Structure 1
């Protein structure tokens, strides 16, 4: 792989970034990796072996070009995988922390006198 994905780069490496921004960045990186693998598989499934200008240098250039294309497509949301991942996992990330003394984020039921607990 030409461009490795570093978990500590960008928003994912920023400890002050909120979880939703980190989820969006991770989803875009996943979409870029997925697109890169798809393009690589398409290149490997050659329809003909008559590559007039084929060489190792040409293959390396095409791999770099495909990697750049995958990064651009994921950055623009052209395929939409990142958006779907964010929609699926957003509820888990955006959930507020449960207050102390409650179970699983549910408030304690109120008693007849109006107090809780």
Structure 2
């Protein structure tokens, strides 16, 4: 793996290799990526809605529309998981501030003084 892809991978996960992740943070990451995927799908859908007066070379049938929608959905999923746009990373960073940091583990039987 190249340095660029390694860095992108670390940025996309938001953690270094030795850093454990809380279940809440993992759920937050999934939700942020899902939101980014929805956002990218909506952008692609809006961009395709404007035909700009041109005719589609492949016709305007339902099969082509379905294929285009499926392709856009897959592209949006890949983009959100790879961190290509960075929206999920920003959402996660903002919302992670609301997650309480893990409490330091206290000894099970603290010694009594005195």
Identify the TM-score tier after normalising by the shorter chain: 0.5 to 0.7
What is the CA RMSD across the aligned residues, in angstroms?
1.6
Q: Which structure has the greater CA radius of gyration?
A: 1
Q: What is the Cα deviation at residue 49 of structure 1? A: 3.8
Q: What is the Cα deviation at residue 77 of structure 1? A: 0.5
Structure ranking higher in helix proportion: 2
- 1:78 maps to 2:84: yes
- Please list every run of 5 or more consecutive structure 2 residues that lacks an aligned counterpart in the other structure: 1-21, 104-114
Which protein has greater RCO, CA pairs closer than 8 Å, 6+ apart?
Answer: 2
Q: What is the Cα deviation at residue 91 of structure 1? A: 1.3
- Please list every run of 5 or more consecutive structure 1 residues that lacks an aligned counterpart in the other structure: 1-16, 98-117
- The TM-score with structure 2 as length reference comes to 0.65
- The TM-score with structure 1 as length reference comes to 0.64
| Greater than 4 Å deviation, 4+ residue runs | none
Q: What is the Cα deviation at residue 48 of structure 1? A: 2.2
